[in-house]
Structure 1
């Protein structure tokens, strides 16, 4: 399988003031998928414009015709499986079956406390995700679902007619720990990583690559325990969070040199952020477009 290139478009621009144009450009450049973050606010963008993921993706679905669209990633921090399933089925319908749900357990960012709750401990996040994902899977594949769980409930929730994509839209599960890997093996069509966060500030590219190799071994073990071939899972790397940070967009050669070893590890998709001036994702627009149109051919 050839390496696919995708992009993340952060929802920081008004739709009629450049927002729509970014999604159209992503399609024109030939990206496989255009994702957006599903947060209420995020890091250094906290005090600036930030729009909702689902409405943004709905607008993008109506404006485009080919490119896949998705979240990278959604989490339980401010979502409930019942309402999320209804939104996803609607979004999959509007897009004509072009939606991928990137999903993970979440973290202690702004999403964790904006609704007024105390941030969950890592254990509780994992526990909630362990209930959230299987329930969401059922909600997207069954016509009527009831569930009385520790964290989430559903009472005859109807999701007719279901997804355009059958049996449901694909899940790209972000995970690094054993429980997350098992959930990926059980419910995922793809696995997502950003590398090892402990290496972001002071690690080396070589250490990062080795850490990801170790993550892949854990994923393979989780799949084997369930009798699943890990080769059937797409492997997605979201760039910008390894020791190279955003320097992978300094030039076409820099990106190819970065992506090649991950391609050799078996990654099927690499995701780059669309440039945002005066931010951690600042990059030369011309280089970004050159990577989009030329890197895949060089990587094979």
Structure 2
């Protein structure tokens, strides 16, 4: 099982940000991700919050081995054409170490940031429809030298993306999905699938949460079968911190939780770098002990 971390973009680069990314590599994490939002939930809404892709560009310059990526990017404020150009550049700068975590997005602050007064954010169905066009177009933009597309929601006219990604045929997609449409997209385009668990089970017991995760895994496997894809080809990533488990309470607590998640088929766990005074607060010594234990 691989262990990764997600570093929230809340620190100025020269006041702790750079040190965290370097330390993530020193601790032996498989990957270090960051959230791709314009702003995020309370208490981060009214504090520092930096852009994901510039942060990853800087992180690529101070690391050598660790994989880097978003967790996750969405169509809420991204367009496939401009995103593809930035990803190709970032993949080149990092020497082919980028993973794109990508999903349909939610109904938070990002969903309304680009809307005019009185305009409602996309409904869940509209978000799914945007994502259903966004992801296939992004796949083409990252694999083809020239792309023209005229769709219901996105257009691209003779867009050039030469030389393409360092990773071939393109950088990997880790697709966040829980519903049937998203699961099918993960099965069709993903090299990995991402979940945070079932929100409906977040207030229940760890056992109830694992039952919900098991059901999600089963839905993913059915989606793979429908797409003619071997489910074993997809890595399964759990972004921790949103289930009833408290895996960062101690090394043994993490070992126990990781063992249970591994039995469900997850092969990569992502833990939040501790952020004091927030829901992601944790003992940094325990956090580092867990990282060293999973090298």
* TM-score normalised according to structure 1 size: 0.96
* Aligned counterpart in structure 2 of residue 126 of structure 1, from 113, 125, 128: 128
Task: Identify which of 1, 18, 21 aligns with 1:20.
Answer: 18
Aligned partner of 1:234 in structure 2 is 235
Give me the CA root mean square deviation. 0.8
Q: Which residue of 1 aligns with 2:251?
A: 252
Q: Is the 8 A contact 2:102 2:176 kept in 1?
A: yes
Quote how far apart the aligned CAs of 1:240 are: 0.5
Distance 1:213 1:265 in 2: 6
What is the aligned length?
A: 291
What's the counterpart of residue 157 of structure 1?
Answer: 159
Tell me, in whole angstroms, the C-alpha distance in 1 between the residues paired with 2:248 and 2:227: 38
Unaligned runs of 5+ residues in structure 2 are: none
Q: CA deviation at 1:259?
A: 1.1
Give 4+ residue runs of structure 1 displaced > 6 Å after superposition. none
Q: Who is 2:225 aligned against?
A: 224
1:175-214 equivalences in 2 (<5 Å): 175-200=177-202, 202-214=203-215
Q: 1:1-300 maps to which residues of 2 (within 5 A)?
A: 3-44=1-42, 45-117=44-116, 118-200=120-202, 202-244=203-245, 247-294=246-293, 296=294
CA–CA distance in structure 1, aligned partners of residues 37 and 192 of structure 2: 21
Please identify, of 61-70 and 115-124, the stretch whose mean Cα deviation from structure 2 is larger. 115-124
What secondary structure sits across from 1:184 in the alignment? helix
Provide the C-alpha distance between the structure 1 equivalents of 2:131 and 2:114, rounded to a whole number of angstroms: 18
Alpha-carbon offset, residue 148 of structure 1: 0.4
Please report how far the alpha carbon of residue 116 of structure 1 lies from its aligned counterpart in structure 2 after TM superposition.
2.2
**TM-score of the superposed pair, with normalisation by structure 2:** 0.97
Distance 2:247 2:220 in 1: 26
CA contact (8 A) 2:115 2:121 kept: no
Distance 1:227 1:263 in 2: 25
Q: How far is 1:189 from its partner? A: 0.0
Kept in 1, the 8 Å contact 2:88–2:165? The answer is yes
